Chain A
Amino acid sequence: MNELKKSIMVSLWFMFLTFPLMVIRVNTIENTVIWRWENMALIGIGSFVLSFVWRWAMRRKEAGDAVAASGEKKSGKLAELANNPALTNSFRAFFLVVFLVTPWLVTTYQTNILISFLLYVVLGLGLNIIVGVAGLLFLGHAAFYAIGAYSYALLNQYFGLGFWVALPLGGVIAALAGIALAFPVLRLRGDYLAIVTLGFGEIVRLVLENWSDLTGGPSGISNIPRPGLFDAKLSVADANIYIYYIVLALAIITIIAVTRLKDSRIGRALQALREDEIACEAMGIDRVGVKVMAFGLGTAWAGFAGVIFAAKTTFINPASFTFFESAIILSIVVLGGMGSNLGVILGSAFLVLLPEYLRAFSEYRMILFASAMVLMMVFRPQGLIPAKGRSYTVDDPELNAANGGRI
């Protein structure tokens, strides 16, 4: 009852606030005033419903928090299934087959969307190393994407290097740029680091835009060759499918590499850096080395993705690498779940595929985007799929005996 009263108060308050805007329309030419009472009713009902739903959701969230705090774990069927290796493997195989077959079943346009989805998976996983695992807030990822793309375009234009040579080179150049950025920002954390990396992203974009002699300025570089397949002449559609497979391979390699890194000695050092820098040093971890490594490891993937992006579009200009791009990649990581690889994949599916398939609502895209982010932060701050540390099992008969035979 109390909730109901509160919601009614909210809706009354909103009706009052929006009254001058939504209800009165003054026509100064004909000197008439139109009273649109139906708008007021709509706002009243709308805000009442929204406020009620909001309260209900908050109550549920609090109840959920209380359960979590009391130490009761909800290890449901889903968690059990996720721990079954045979099942997860067959899931993986299923998805692999789906992804392998898809380009032959859908149109070129849809293949293109899938390519950009996979590119964002690679970008997101790279950024995940920096933001999710090492805990460094990083807002300039698009700059390294650009560095990769421009490496290929420029190396091709000036030295005639092919795609397969440029692919590793682009990654290496982006990693070197990341390492170069890491040194001046070693002492920074949190917001300050975010500002510097944001600035770096803008610097890269502005250099590309203004160094017209080298980069072609705002008009960019065109006629970038697509990757060749043993001198075979491919039609545009076939070339697209070919690129799709390259990206798919890169994405799979990235997933494997990033997972392995996260579970290794290096990955543990990165996580320790996120948790506590001083304790990290006291435990014998070289803070500088590890931070530099985090930047290099994260930005290299952006470089690879950049090379493929350039090869796919055959034309690049600085407009593709704005701050908006960095923000999207960061949103993918945050929305998906910081530190969680599966989360990043889902996050990029959410942020890349949904807008494409919901083109009808494209005008409201940013509104939906923003409200999704806000709701996410309120109700599920750990992301769609929260990061789960690797669980180690130790085979110790004594412990098993102490626990009555169960681990």
Chain B
Amino acid sequence: MKSVLDVTAVSMNFGGLRALNEVQLEVQSGEIVALIGPNGAGKTTFFNCITSIYEPTEGEVWFTPRNGARTKVNGLKPNLVTELGMARTFQNIRLFKNMSVLENVMIARHCRTKTGIWGALLRSPSVLREEKEIVDRSYELLKYMGLHTFYKELACNLPYGAQRRLEIARALATDPTLLLLDEPAAGMNPQETETLKHLVFKIRDEMDMAILLIEHDMSMVMSLSGRIYVMEYGCLIASGTPSEISSDPRVIKAYLGEEAHA
């Protein structure tokens, strides 16, 4: 087991507001880790910090790609973080709405391909080959996520659950080492959640990927993740295996209030 993501005491201030306070977190390769906590605990802020959409005020984020050296990520541009091998989905779905489902995934191949302006203008055989590879690989991923029947549709016309899966397919197209899922099951019905759970396992096993997810659906979190981190008011209050977490008094207090009898 080697560490993929190593976050040491990251803090994030927005003016006078401390949204994250010395959060410490580690993800090993091949592991599924969940980050839970009440609304407004700072989970998404944490995601934004490690993907460099925000630059953390203090602390360091270290990332080790599959075949690469340990790199300090904070301060890098978000696109370079993705290129290193960290891909994410968004809590409020951010698809390229007016483009086809296939194109959505094709765009994510951008950082793994290299056709430039001249290549696009001249359309040499190598460029055409690369273009075909992009289409094939993207379609393969759509099939993997069970979206291939929609491939010609506009992304905005997909049903909600399929849009969430498309976001995951798009993230997978960047060939990540670590997949960050921000509430992948939000708004899904129990049946869709069940399918999603199997997909996440499948991705981990078949693609050799570490997965960090934020989720509110407790049954999914408990059955899916190897370890769980719990946040409240920007601080990490507990971490451990699902059974440890479900019996931790601080976690119960955070979720149910002071006088809980669990």
B interface, how many residues as a size bin? 35 or more
- In Å, the complex CA distance between A265 and B82 comes to 17
Decide if A353 is an interface residue (CB 8 Å cutoff): no
Set B83, B90, B102, B113: member contacting A392, Cβ < 8 A? B102
Q: Are B94 and A264 in contact (CB under 8 A)?
A: no
Q: Are B115 and A264 in contact (CB under 8 A)?
A: yes
In the complex, chain A residues whose CB is within 8 Å of the CB of B9: none
Set A285, A392, A399: member contacting B100, Cβ < 8 A? A392
Q: Are A282 and B134 in contact (CB under 8 A)?
A: no
- A7 shortest CB reach to chain B, Å: 37
- A222 shortest CB reach to chain B, Å: 36
Q: Are B123 and A283 in contact (CB under 8 A)?
A: no
Q: Are B94 and A396 in contact (CB under 8 A)?
A: no
Q: Are B117 and A293 in contact (CB under 8 A)?
A: yes
In the complex, chain B residues whose CB is within 8 Å of the CB of A261: 117, 120-121
Q: Are B103 and A268 in contact (CB under 8 A)?
A: yes
Set B100, B119, B149: member contacting A389, Cβ < 8 A? B100
Considering only residues 366-407 of chain A, those with a C-beta below 8 Å from chain B are 389-392, 394, 396, 399, 402-403
Interface hit among A26-34, A137-145, A227-235, A272-280: A272-280
Q: Are A267 and B102 in contact (CB under 8 A)?
A: no
Decide if A266 is an interface residue (CB 8 Å cutoff): yes
In the complex, chain B residues whose CB is within 8 Å of the CB of A60: none
Q: Are B123 and A282 in contact (CB under 8 A)?
A: no
Could you mark each residue 231-262 of chain B with 1 if its beta carbon is under 8 Å from any beta carbon of chain A, else 0? 00000000000000000000000000000000
Task: Report the nearest B residue to A284, measured CB to CB.
Answer: B111
Q: Are A260 and B107 in contact (CB under 8 A)?
A: no
Decide if B139 is an interface residue (CB 8 Å cutoff): yes
Decide if B129 is an interface residue (CB 8 Å cutoff): no
Decide if B98 is an interface residue (CB 8 Å cutoff): yes
- A266 shortest CB reach to chain B, Å: 5
- In Å, the complex CA distance between A320 and B102 comes to 45
Q: Are B82 and A282 in contact (CB under 8 A)?
A: yes
Set A266, A268, A390, A391: member contacting B117, Cβ < 8 A? A266
Q: A281-B53, A282-B78 are in contact. Are A265 and B120 (CB under 8 A)?
A: yes
Q: Are B117 and A297 in contact (CB under 8 A)?
A: yes
Q: Are B90 and A279 in contact (CB under 8 A)?
A: yes
Set A265, A275, A394, A396: member contacting B99, Cβ < 8 A? A275
In the complex, chain B residues whose CB is within 8 Å of the CB of A284: 79, 82-83, 108, 110-112, 174
In the complex, chain B residues whose CB is within 8 Å of the CB of A283: 79, 82, 87, 107-108, 110-111, 170, 174
Q: A394-B151, A396-B139, A396-B148 are in contact. Are A271 and B99 (CB under 8 A)?
A: yes
Considering only residues 252-303 of chain A, those with a C-beta below 8 Å from chain B are 257, 260-261, 264-269, 271-272, 275-276, 278-287, 293, 297
Decide if B95 is an interface residue (CB 8 Å cutoff): yes
Set B94, B123, B151, B152: member contacting A260, Cβ < 8 A? B123
Set A276, A281, A390: member contacting B96, Cβ < 8 A? A276
- In Å, the complex CA distance between A399 and B140 comes to 12
Chain A facing B: main interface SS: helix
Instruction: Name which of A257, A266, A279, A286 has the most chain B CB atoms within 10 A of its CB.
Output: A279
- B118 shortest CB reach to chain A, Å: 10
In the complex, chain B residues whose CB is within 8 Å of the CB of A396: 139, 143, 148
Set B96, B123, B149, B152: member contacting A275, Cβ < 8 A? B96
Q: Are B121 and A257 in contact (CB under 8 A)?
A: yes
Q: A394-B102, A399-B149 are in contact. Are A278 and B94 (CB under 8 A)?
A: yes
Task: Report the nearest A residue to B94, measured CB to CB.
Answer: A279
- In Å, the complex CA distance between A375 and B53 comes to 42
Decide if B18 is an interface residue (CB 8 Å cutoff): no
In the complex, chain A residues whose CB is within 8 Å of the CB of B117: 261, 266, 293, 297
- In Å, the complex CA distance between A266 and B170 comes to 17
Decide if B77 is an interface residue (CB 8 Å cutoff): yes
- In Å, the complex CA distance between A396 and B151 comes to 12
- In Å, the complex CA distance between A396 and B150 comes to 13
Set B96, B109, B115, B139: member contacting A271, Cβ < 8 A? B96
Q: Are B96 and A282 in contact (CB under 8 A)?
A: no
Known: A282-B87, A283-B82, A389-B99. 14 other contacts (CB 8 A): A260-B123, A264-B115, A264-B131, A265-B131, A266-B116, A268-B110, A271-B103, A279-B95, A281-B82, A283-B87, A284-B79, A284-B82, A284-B174, A389-B100
Could you jot down 23 A-B contacts, CB within 8 Å?
Answer: A257-B121, A261-B121, A264-B120, A265-B131, A266-B117, A268-B106, A275-B95, A275-B96, A275-B99, A276-B97, A278-B53, A278-B94, A279-B95, A281-B53, A283-B110, A284-B174, A286-B77, A297-B117, A391-B152, A394-B102, A394-B135, A396-B143, A399-B149
Q: Which residues of A contact B (CB under 8 A)?
A: 257, 260-261, 264-269, 271-272, 275-276, 278-287, 293, 297, 389-392, 394, 396, 399, 402-403
Q: Which residues of B contact A (CB under 8 A)?
A: 51, 53, 77-79, 82-83, 87-88, 90, 94-100, 102-103, 106-113, 115-117, 119-121, 123, 127, 130-131, 134-136, 139, 143, 148-149, 151-152, 170, 174
